[in-house]
Structure 1
Amino acid sequence: MDDLKNIQIPKFAEEILERAGRQGFTASCDRLTGSLLRVLVMSKPGASILELGTGTGYSTSWIVEGMDHNSRLVTVEFDAESALVAKDVLGHDERIEFIIDDGGKYIEDHLNEKFDIIFADTWPGKFYLVEETLNMINPNGIYIIDDLNPQSNWPEGHGDKVQELIAYLETKTEFHLAKLDWSTGIIMMTRK
């Protein structure tokens, strides 16, 4: 099976990638992760979704394509220049709230807010404030992270941080956990 064959790319994804390339932004998720996000979002009508790490909006475009008209997305990005691409291309969609701020600050300021899906694609919510982020997930809600398999651009010692994160997530008995050695390496967790 060719898992990249016949993947339908979201309407605005190519434009986002082109603009990201001009900026030198290379941290977007890949097509496989994007396609998984779209499917997961489609499985949760009326979902409340949090994306930590908008980047230039490539993963956001996949999430949005999976959303129904009653779903809402809050997407948080620290880098204003990157977030501007996402907002320029996708900002017409009233279901999206773009927040340009530190993801850690967002988590700390919204500890009592609950989401059906959280995609943590940056340090806050993934490598720190993890417990706080997991507490923001509704029953039957999904937490998803990627980039867990070794990457050529990882800084020295990052592999150890990834292994510590995986070991920590494996202790979370209030969640079901699935590790996917696929795409860039994914963990999905669902609150029991």
Structure 2
Amino acid sequence: MLDDEQITVPQFYPQIIAASEKLQFNMPSDLKTGSLLRTLVASKPSGHFLDIGTGTGLSLAWIAAGANETSRIISIDINATFQQVALETFADDERISIVCADGNEWLTFYDGEQFDLIFADAMPGKFEVLDQTLELLKVGGFYLIDDLLPQPNWPEEHPQRVEKLLETLKQRGDIVQTTLNWSTGLMLFTKVS
């Protein structure tokens, strides 16, 4: 079975891809990651979801496709130019709040309801302010990170950063994890305490 052939992209995905190409946005979420993200979100009816690293809204499209009508989604990014695509695409979707902010500051000072799923697709929430991010996750909630296998756009020092992150996460006692040598290299965690 070829898993790429089984993936149906969400509504708005083609238009976000086209807008991303015009802006020369070259960090899209992988289709397999998006498909998994949609499935995980669908498992949490009326859920509260956090997308760290809106970009142009590709991962947000997958989250929105999995979320039911009573779910709430927050997507944060510091780049207003790229994020404008998502703002225009999801302007009529009342479930979605798109925030342009420094991710480290937002994650550090956010004091609202915890999340059923956090997708960390940016430096904040993954390589930075990790403890603060995981405190925002409900018990039973999912934390998904991607891009753990070498990517062509990685800076020279990035492999060591990934290794340190993986070791840090494996030592935590409040989460259980599964490593997926699939897509761009994923780790999926569930908070247990």
Band of TM-score, shorter chain: over 0.9
Q: Which residue of 2 aligns with 1:7?
A: 7
**Structure 1 unmatched runs, 5+:** none
Separation in 2, partners of 1:112, 1:99: 14
Separation in 2, partners of 1:151, 1:82: 21
Q: Which residue of 1 aligns with 2:108?
A: 108
Q: Which runs of 4+ in 1 moved over 6 A?
A: none
Quote the offset at 1:105 in angstroms: 1.1
Q: Which residue of 1 aligns with 2:43?
A: 43
Separation in 1, partners of 2:190, 2:6: 28
1:20-47 deviation per Cα after TM superposition (whole angstroms, max 9, x unaligned): 0000001110100000000000001011
Q: Secondary structure at the match of 1:154?
A: coil
Which amino acid in structure 1 is aligned with residue 178 of structure 2? A
Quote the offset at 1:16 in angstroms: 0.2
Q: Does 1:154 align with 2:154?
A: yes
Quote the offset at 1:112 in angstroms: 5.7
1:41-91 deviation per Cα after TM superposition (whole angstroms, max 9, x unaligned): 000101100111000000100100000011100000100000100111112
Q: Which residue of 2 aligns with 1:85?
A: 85
TM-score, with structure 1 as normaliser = 0.98
Write the mapping of 1:53-72 to structure 2, written as runs, cut at 5 A. 53-72=53-72
Which amino acid in structure 1 is aligned with residue 45 of structure 2? P
**Structure 2 unmatched runs, 5+:** none
Q: Which residue of 2 aligns with 1:139?
A: 139
Separation in 2, partners of 1:49, 1:32: 19
Decide whether aligned partners of structure 1 residues 85 and 112 sit closer, same or farther in structure 2, where only a CA change above 3 A counts: closer
Quote the offset at 1:111 in angstroms: 4.8
1:123-154 deviation per Cα after TM superposition (whole angstroms, max 9, x unaligned): 01000100110111001001000000001110
Separation in 2, partners of 1:127, 1:6: 32
Identity, % of aligned pairs?
Answer: 39
Separation in 2, partners of 1:135, 1:109: 12
Q: Which residue of 2 aligns with 1:29?
A: 29
Quote the offset at 1:113 in angstroms: 3.8
CA RMSD of aligned residues (A): 0.9
Any conservation in 2 of the 1:114–1:138 contact (CA below 8 Å)?
Answer: yes
Q: Does 1:181 align with 2:178?
A: no
Separation in 2, partners of 1:105, 1:92: 27
